[in-house]
Amino acid sequence: MTELTLNRHRRTLWHFVPGLALTAVITGAALWGGSIPAVAGAGFSALTLAILFGMVIGNSVYPKIWQPCDGGVLFAKQHLLRLGIILYGFRLTFAQIADVGVSGILIDVLTLSSTFILASFLGQKVFGLDKHTCWLIGAGSSICGAAAVLATEPVVKAEASKVTVAVATVVIFGTIAIFLYPAMYPLLAHWFSPETYGIYMGSTMHEVAQVVAAGHAVSPDAENAAVIAKMLRVMMLAPFLLILAARVKQLAPANGAEKSKITIPWFAILFIVVAIFNSFHLLPKSIVDMLVTLDTILLAMAMAALGLTTHVSALKKAGAKPLLMALVLFGWLIVGGGLINVVVHAILA
């Protein structure tokens, strides 16, 4: 009996090993690529490269080897993702809230909420997209890019192709923003100081890596303010997911689904718990740095798995509408987000 149990465990373990090994290899390549100065300077993080590499392999080699890899790839896409979101809390401390002040908090809240509401309305009423695609693109645009898209997927239970479309919009418009925001600064210097322009960038740009790249191109003061404002937006991910989970539950009876309890995204709760714990600086910096590196690896493996399970045909089927909606949101972040920043700073100055 014991030997039979051991054999079952071995078979179960082997069920995950090939897929996890494949995502690990892709992650290694993405980490290496992201460490190249020219690549990092262009705002392409390891997460972005992981999904791109995953998609290349997923649409070439993977269809021939998917059967032994399927278990591990799905494990990475689901469970490693949740663990990665939890460990993301080690990148944050609540002291960062004090650094940006009341104005920074208010700007982030207004920008986040207005962008997501706009995505939900325009996506369904104007572009005729399904609510999952609208929510995913809205989360990526309003909070923290690809990480927000990935964190939203388990709450709304969206298809892999829709997740990839949302991530693609983050990559496209976030990359444009890296070059656009520094170019706009001389034109907007009358309304913004380097610090307030940094808050503007942090409150309206998609990815953390993109914010760092654009802030660095403006000035050190702008970069510091941009990163703090951006990380504050990241901290809003957990309450956002809780509110969205309640909304999903509210819509379920209207869609003919059986009534059920609200599915609480526990990984979002634990994300906040980790951020609170990290705020007390109980762990040595070396340990925290190691956990942040582990977190990057886990999230990159999840992105690689997402790329592996995404087919180009599914992206083509999505059409131009998601891209057009993301373009409108990008315009709103630049113009509407800029107005929010100017008005809030004027009132609270």
CA dist., res. 193 & res. 166, Å (int) = 33
DSSP3 helix / strand / coil % (the chain, rounded to 5): 85, 0, 15
Spatial CA neighbour of 152 closest among 174, 132, 129, 125: 132
- What mean pLDDT is predicted for residues 305-325? 80
pLDDT, position 254:
55
Of 38-47, 76-85, 108-117, 225-234, the range with the lowest mean pLDDT is: 38-47
Confidence of residue 154 (pLDDT cuts 50, 70, 90): confident
Joined together, the tokens standing for residue 292 give: 């942040």
DSSP, collapsed to helix, strand or coil, labels residue 157 as coil
Residue 73 has pLDDT above 50, yes or no: yes
Share of the chain above pLDDT 70, in %: 91
> What are 8-52's pLDDT values in tens digits?
445 577 788 899 999 999 999 999 998 898 887 776 778 778 888
Residue with more model confidence, 176 or 44: 176
3-state secondary structure 167-209: HHHHHHHHHHHHHHHHHHHHHHCCCCCHHHHHHHHHHHCCCHH
pLDDT digits (tens, 9 = 90+) for 87-114: 888 887 777 767 777 888 899 999 999 9
More confident of the two residues 159 and 292: 292
CA angle 212, 287, 233 (to 5 degrees): 35
Q: Which tokens hold the place of 59?
A: 């649409």
pLDDT at 284: 94
Cα within 13 Å of Cα(153), Cβ side: 26
